[in-house]
Amino acid sequence: MKKLLLFYICFSGIIYAGTLKGRTIKSVNMPHNNFIRATGATSLAEISKAILLALQTNNAGQLTSYYPSDQEITTLRQLGSEDMKAVLENQSATDLQNSFDTDLQKIVQEGVSKTLNWSELEVADTKTGKGTSKNSVLFPVETVLQTKQNQPVSLVYEVIKLKNRYYLFRGIRLKS
């Protein structure tokens, strides 16, 4: 009987706390497939692909996990230069995200006016500049997109790097 009960306990999808020896058995319902997605990106190529997908679908919401949280903003205030502290003084993570989303919408519109077909573009290259000595966590990035006819389209923006993760920061625009 004990083996049958243990078999049922193991394969019923419910994890029981305690044992059968004089203790009460409590069920603990564990949700299935609940994964907490890490924020930030492990590489600049990952961010570049996410930006392109957001442009292709005209959905900046796909970039949510690539924006810094309030916790990362607090870290930036501690690590950044006086200039960065001044930029972040009255800014929250939501403010930075809204600003980036607005800039992304401008790029979509600018691309349409230049008759760019976002769905035909692919990421060709992603280059980063060096951070300044004042802001060692802030990096300029250029993502080169390419059409099927090998016409380059460049996006420039800034990222921050904290704990080996990259986060979108500000200033995305089409490079002239």
CA dist 138 and 161 (Å) reads 7
Strand arrangement of the beta sheet that strand 152-162 belongs to: 122-128, 138-146, 152-162, 165-174
- Res. 75: pLDDT tops 60: yes
Q: What is the pLDDT of residue 32?
A: 52
Q: What is the pLDDT of residue 4?
A: 45
Q: What is the pLDDT of residue 28?
A: 55
Task: Give the pLDDT band of residue 91 (cuts 50, 70, 90).
Answer: confident
- Res. 51: pLDDT tops 90: yes
- Mean residue pLDDT across the chain: 81
- Res. 14: pLDDT tops 80: no
> For 95, what's the count of Cα atoms within 13 Å in the CB-facing half-sphere?
8
Strand partners, 36: none
Most confident by average pLDDT, 24-28, 30-34, 110-114: 110-114
CA dist 168 and 161 (Å) reads 9
- Res. 87: pLDDT tops 50: yes
- Res. 119: pLDDT tops 80: yes
- Mean pLDDT of the region 149-167: 92
CA dist 73 and 63 (Å) reads 17
Domains of the chain and CATH, by start: 1-31 (no CATH), 44-174 (3.10.450)
Q: How crowded is residue 18: how many other Cβ atoms within 10 Å of its Cβ?
A: 10
Q: What is the pLDDT of residue 25?
A: 53
Give the distance from CA 64 to its chain's centroid.
6
- Res. 10: pLDDT tops 80: no
Among 141, 155, 170, which Cα is nearest to 68's? 170
- Res. 18: pLDDT tops 70: no
- Res. 110: pLDDT tops 80: yes
CA dist 93 and 95 (Å) reads 5
Query: Position 54: which residue type?
Result: A
